Amino acid sequence: MPSITPCLWFDTDAEAAATFYTSVFPNSRIVSTSYYTEAGPKPAGTVLTVEFELDGKAFTALNGGPEFSFSEAISFQISCKDQDEVDYYADNITADGGEEGPCGWVKDRFGISWQIVPVALVELLADPDPERVNRAMAAMMKMQRLDVAALRAAADG
């Protein structure tokens, strides 16, 4: 199977974004950086792409210009084992200009959306008891940052 690598289009922040993301996620690194040449369209020596890995998964950041911007139609989901991980990722991804949204969604300072999802929520929403699922879902819909203890308490009634 061919490899699939998400490519994130930035105006000029590809290098800053890759540096930021690799600082937040463990087992992450910048692999390589390429630069525009005299052929343009940006000035020679300006960063063109940054190849990087987040927890071993390949990504590309491209400085393509201001023509496109990010929207919530595409997001990256982070599966968190516990509340400490939920808090770590929410705090770090929203640092320096990001923002928290509803239901565990956050946006980083570059405009990329992330879903910070505790494993406990996935388990609660797969519970065989539809009333537990409904209570957990109703609680989640009222939250910004997801609270594992509150989700479990809501499911338990």
4-22 residue pLDDT tens: 999 999 999 999 999 999 9
Q: What is the pLDDT of residues 79-127, one digit of tens each?
A: 999 999 999 999 999 999 999 999 999 999 999 999 999 999 999 999 9
Check for a shared fold between 1-68 and 70-157. Answer: yes
Helix or strand (DSSP H, E) at 138? helix 130-141
| 44 Cβ neighbours under 8 A, 6+ residues apart | 35, 36, 37, 38
Helix or strand (DSSP H, E) at 128? none
pLDDT at 61 over 80: yes
CA angle, 3 as apex, 45 and 64 as ends, to 5°? Answer: 30
Q: What is the pLDDT of residues 108-118, one digit of tens each?
A: 999 999 999 99
Q: Where are the domains of the chain?
A: 1-68, 70-157
Give me the pLDDT at residue 2, please: 85
Instruction: Supply the CATH classification number for the domain 1-68.
Output: 3.10.180.10
Q: Which residue has the tokens 């998964």?
A: 57
